[in-house]
Amino acid sequence: MISRFRFVAIAIAVSLLSAIWGLSPAIAKTQISIGSCPVGCTAFTWSAGIADIINKNVDGVQVTAEETKGYVANVKLLNKGDLEASMATTLSSFGAYKATGIYKGDQPGQILSWLSIAPVAMHVITLDDGSVKTLSDLKGKRVGMGQPGGVSMLDADALMEQLGLTQGKDFKDFRVRLGNMADMLADGNLDAAIWNGSFPLPPVIKLTAQHKVNLLPISDDFYNKLREKYPPYFRISIPAGTYKGIDTDTPSYGLGNALIIHAKVPEDLVYEMTKAIMTNLDRLKAVHPAFGRVNENTILNGFGAPLHPGALRYYREVGIPGIEEFVKRTSAN
């Protein structure tokens, strides 16, 4: 809980005993928990690496990577005060900041941006010999949307909403995991699958080994209209050669896989933690290669919520490109 900004009870007890016994008292540390996902997933690896770097470089804080059920759960726990920071997509964090969608009824303005780590890209996956060739062809079809509780399902819902299609009326939705959707495409039980994730997606690679696969391109017109409602989306292309048989870039859009933080975390502490992360990216790259692609031009990618003041202070200090335009844009949201 936010009450983690406290002197840990056991440390206080040690200090009291130390005073009685004439020993040097232990220094109590501020506790910070970073919500991630189940142990073994990428976000847990990221969180553990970040926690280690901060613990080694910032005095007076103890950061822990917490195993959770995933990004949707993370934001809810953060809103409740059961975490101080978490991994999330930039769309989820924007919804939490605004207290809209699945976060309606929560207190707005609690969840702030911190650092964008890696992009995810929208995939609309079909088979070459199928009937879906464009987004408009999704009407009347069987469409995989991702599993309940997953953030990709929220992106699929936003896409279909923008197309003006209603589940059960205009298309048959199947809410299952990506691996299941790939199998259903292969077996002829789906016409299309929608997934927003970091490429290449292993189940899609597996699918291309047996079938000719297509990725539907996203037009500028569709993207621009979608972004009017969902500012965190940004333009991205899935490069040619990412998947077997797809030899041209596929225009799409995406979000940031990002680190977000509660507004009540002290500004000075967030400043020091941000500095520790940004000045140790080479070490973090050894933890996961995604950190090797984090730089001054990527750390704001996809955010729609304002930065935490501590992060903003550091980014201004080092002259992050576009920082003032970012502040102006997110302040208006």
Question: For each of the chain's 333 residues, which pLDDT tens digit applies?
Answer: 444 444 333 344 334 333 443 444 445 789 999 999 888 788 999 999 999 999 999 999 999 999 998 888 899 999 999 999 999 999 999 999 999 988 999 999 999 999 999 999 999 999 999 999 999 999 999 999 998 878 899 999 999 999 999 999 999 999 999 999 999 999 999 999 999 988 889 899 999 999 999 999 999 999 999 999 998 999 999 999 999 999 999 999 999 999 999 999 999 999 999 999 999 999 999 999 899 999 999 999 999 999 999 999 999 999 999 999 999 999 987
What element of type H or E holds 278?
helix 267-278
pLDDT at 12: 40
Amino acid present at 286 = A
If phi > 0 it is left, if psi is from -120 to 50 it is alpha, else beta; for residue 229 that is alpha
- Smallest CA-to-CA distance from 134 within 236, 229, 6, 222 is with 222
Could you tell me which of 134, 90, 81 has the C-alpha nearest to residue 112? Answer: 90
Let me know: does 59 contact 92? Beta carbons within 8 Å: no
- Domain 2-118+257-331 is classified in which CATH homologous superfamily? Periplasmic binding protein-like II (3.40.190.10)
Q: How far is 153 from 56, CA to CA, in rounded Å?
A: 37
Q: What are phi and psi of 173, to 5 degrees?
A: -95, 140
Query: Please, is 106 exposed, middle or buried when counting C-beta atoms within 10 Å of its C-beta (0-12, 13-18, 19+)?
Result: buried
For CATH 3.40.190.10, the residue range(s) in the chain are 2-118+257-331, 120-255
Query: Hey, what amino acid is at 137?
Result: D
Task: Render the burial of 287-322: b for 16+ CB within 10 Å, e for the rest.
Answer: ebebbeebeeeebbbbbbbbbbbbbbbbbeeeebee
Q: Are 88 and 103 in contact (CB under 8 A)?
A: no
Q: Tokens at residue 330, please?
A: 């997110």
CB 127 within 8 A of CB 77: no
Nearest residue to 291 via CA among 50, 92, 95:
50
Do 308 and 326 meet the contact criterion of CB atoms below 8 Å apart?
A: no
Residues 6+ apart with CB under 8 A from 319: 296
Give the homologous superfamily in CATH for domain 120-255. Periplasmic binding protein-like II (3.40.190.10)
Encoding tokens for residue 177? 């995991």
Provide the pairing of β-strand 142-144 with 192-197.
parallel
Q: Is the dihedral of CA 64, 275, 77, 41 positive or negative?
A: negative
Please give the angle made by the CA atoms of 225, 227 and 229, to the nearest 5 degrees: 85
Residues 6 or more apart in contact with residue 45 via CB below 8 angstroms: 287, 288
* C-alpha pair distances (Å), 295 with each of 97, 299, 318: 25, 6, 12
Residue 27, pLDDT score? 57
Residue 85 is inside which H or E element, if any? strand 85-89
